[in-house]
Amino acid sequence: MANYGYTAIVVAWLARLNPFYIAVASFLLAGLRVGVESLQLDMQVPAAFGWIIEGLVLLSVLAGGLLHYVSGHPALMDIAILIPLLAATVQSGTPILYATSG
């Protein structure tokens, strides 16, 4: 499962182009990649599953930008950062949980 360049884009946007959040986002996506590879080994789920999730995460982040845009309100902007991060945690955590428990 190569294509690290695409993942870099997902990381950058998940971090809302903020260098500090990059560490968090890249850690989560690294978890997703490793988790998906264990899934492939243990349960014969094609690793391409990880790409689907990455694509969906990025699409959700972009769509979530509307919240940011409509309000312009600082508190809502924080939520706009947190929601995709939370969503990514859930989405990347699921395969990791499967991999560790299975």
Partner 1 sequence: MPPLGEIITERSGVLNLGVEGIMIVGALTGFVVSFTTGNPWLAFFAAGAAGCLMAAVHGVVVLLFLGNQVVSGLAITIFGLGLANYFGTPFVGQAAPGFDPFALPVLGNIPALGEIFFRHDVLVYISYLLPLAIWLFLYVTRIGLNLRATGEAPVAARAAGIGVVAYRWLGIIMGGFCMGCGGAYLSLAYTHLWTNNLTGGRGWIAVALVIFSFWRPQRAVFGAYLFGGIMAVQLRLQASGTTIPSSLLLMLPYTLTIAVLVFSSWRRGSTGEPAALGTTIEPRQ
Site for partner 1 contains 49 (CB under 8 A): yes
84 alpha-carbon distance from chain centroid: 8
Site for partner 1 contains 46 (CB under 8 A): yes
Backbone dihedral angles phi then psi of residue 65, each to the nearest 5 degrees:
-60, -20
How far apart are the C-alpha atoms of 51 and 29, rounded to whole Å?
11
Site for partner 1 contains 50 (CB under 8 A): yes
Sole window of 22-30, 56-64, 80-88, 94-102 interacting with partner 1 (rule: CB under 8 A): 56-64
Place of tokens 């990381």: 11
Site for partner 1 contains 43 (CB under 8 A): no
Binding site for partner 1 (CB under 8 A): 3, 6, 9-10, 13, 46, 48-56, 58-59, 62-66, 69
